[in-house]
Amino acid sequence: MSEAGDRSRGAPRALLVVLAATLLVVGTSCTKVTVLGGLMVVMSTDGTLFPDTLVVDITSPEGKAIYRDATYGIPAEAQLPTSIAIVSNGDPTASVSINVSVWAAGIPLDVRQDRVLQIPTDHVAELDIVFSAHCTPQVGLVNGAALSKCGADETCDPRSGLCISGVVTLESDGGAPGSVSPGGDAGAVEEAVAACVPGITQCLGDAVETCASDGQWGPLAACGGSTPFCHGAGMCGVCRDGSSQCSFNEVQTCADGAWGPAEDCPTDAPACSAGTCGQPPSCQGSTPGTTHCGARAGSCCASPEVTGGTYDRTYTNTGNGPTDEANPASVNEFRLDTYDVTVGRFRAFVGAWNAGWMPAAGSGKHAYLNGGQGLVGSGSPGTYEPGWVASDDAYVTPTDDNLECGGSFSTWTPSAGDGETRPINCVNWWESYAFCIWDGGFLPAEAESDYAAAGGNQQREYPWGETDPGTMNQYAIYGCYYPSGSGPCTGRENIAPVGTATLGAGLWGQLDLTGNVWPWTLDWLAPYVDPCIDCVDLTTAANRTHGGADYHDPTSYLLTSDRHGNPPQYRDTIIGFRCARAP
């Protein structure tokens, strides 16, 4: 058999246990007993598998006596390569059956079954078991146990993946008990348990242990500084294998002591917290207005990524493509919520605000840009967005009176009702910004919001394209056509639940990018400044920008190239907002 042989190599590698059986001598690490002979089972991988569990099952050949039945976590309890010593008691007829397997996430990756005849009595033989992905096709799972698909008395060859003989005969070589047989002497049990190959390392907690030249483990060297965690076969790394962390709204997983590539959180769980993707704060309660939004009745906090690019902020499009293009802007990738913020989501924010939450000074920036400084000030070269200013706390006053600014047209009600999936209106600019910060995001810049509505460099006539919006509320909520297809507007019943106009999705999946309510954006309203690369207008003016159109505007207001603004303290039933987030 190619994996086995009578290959005595002196001190074995990183031993787990000394196996005690009815036929075999019992040995422990604190007992000095002369070893007559035995078998060292050395288990390793060829680098094609990355298991998290090792299962060892060693029995008598007929299975009546169980010598070892144990499961070890990798790397907490065992690290490959590792060994198990089977010590002879001098009985030349002693034999064992060995069944070992490696697993990952509850799935068996490789299983080996060997029947070893005649454990040597006068020297230590070695049985090498190399786990390999080549043998994964030969693995079966029956009643939760890993079984080889090879036949009786067969096992898998890791080089070819084929089944070969699994019967190993290890006979005495005739040497005197305890003498040096071909390759070496087992020595004493204490030496077998503690011995190691000089130069190899292993982890003990978050410290590295190195095997000294005398084959004994040396003193511990604690990991620390920028590499505080021990991993693998005794190396210090920046993170603990298997742990995860957030990189904005992406997740990184630690492998081999280093953080792996960041992976995007999904659209329906866009917020990363403590290394896990999930819902932002406004959608964590599963209350009305946080779920069952849109045609899919999904999360009201869904937030797909918008691919970055360059477009012209000024253009004309009458259905035949953009013309009269000017004022180019470049936008990095970002997330933009699918829906305007609902009454139900805003109700959760009001609860947090009334309980004492306030934005931290400087929060709410596009912190993933420009080394954490955020957007560039387009009207003030060399400046960056300041984030939240502490003095602005005084302008956040989400009381019932303020949120019912429009009487019967206000979507807010003092207690939750049947309108929780309508967009919140009657909010000022500061309340919109504070909400987005609390919810883990920020207000989008005007260039970002308009880029998403225009379909990037497609510079569409409407967010959905060139199709006439009609009066059936399929593309946009406008002109008092909702809900019956004709006006006039009489109250909040003319404001649709978010996502009602299902055919009006923009290029990246956002709905209601125009119509229903105007969304506040981050900028002050001023003439465009060129160039604009991830820019925001920071020059104080009379009005903050908002885009889109509202529930009673005419068709001409639906065009994506329109610009509008109002003072930041302005409250009206025509104005709401949506949040943007880091990618």
From CA 260, how far away is CA 298, in angstroms rounded?
30
Band (pLDDT 50/70/90 cuts) for residue 230 is very high
Here the tokens at position 557 are 């207001």
Q: What is the pLDDT of residue 181?
A: 28
Is the pLDDT reported for residue 224 higher than 50? yes
Segment holding 448, helix H or strand E:
helix 446-454
Residue 370 or 195, more confident: 370
| Mean pLDDT score, 422-429 | 98
Confidence of residue 232 (pLDDT cuts 50, 70, 90): confident
Q: Domain residues of the chain, as ranges?
A: 4-195, 203-237, 244-278, 281-581
Q: Are 569 and 429 in contact (CB under 8 A)?
A: yes
pLDDT-derived band at 474 (thresholds 50, 70, 90) equals very high
Of 528, 566, 526, which Cα lies nearest the Cα of 430?
566
pLDDT-derived band at 36, boundaries 50, 70, 90? low
Contact 466, 448 (CB under 8 A): no
281-581: CATH number:
3.90.1580.10
The reply to whether 281-581 shares the fold of 4-195 is: no
Largest CA distance in the chain: 108
In this predicted structure, what is the pLDDT of residue 84? Answer: 82
User: What letter would DSSP give residue 347?
Assistant: H
Q: For residue 525, which of 568, 491, 555 has the smallest C-alpha distance?
A: 568
Fold annotation for 4-195: Immunoglobulin-like (2.60.40)
The predicted model gives 277-297 an average pLDDT of 94
Range scoring the smallest mean pLDDT among 128-132, 394-398, 431-435: 128-132
How many other β-carbons are positioned within 10 Å of the β-carbon of residue 569? 11
Is the per-residue pLDDT at 60 higher than 50? yes
- Whether residue 136 is predicted with pLDDT greater than 60 in this model: the reply is yes
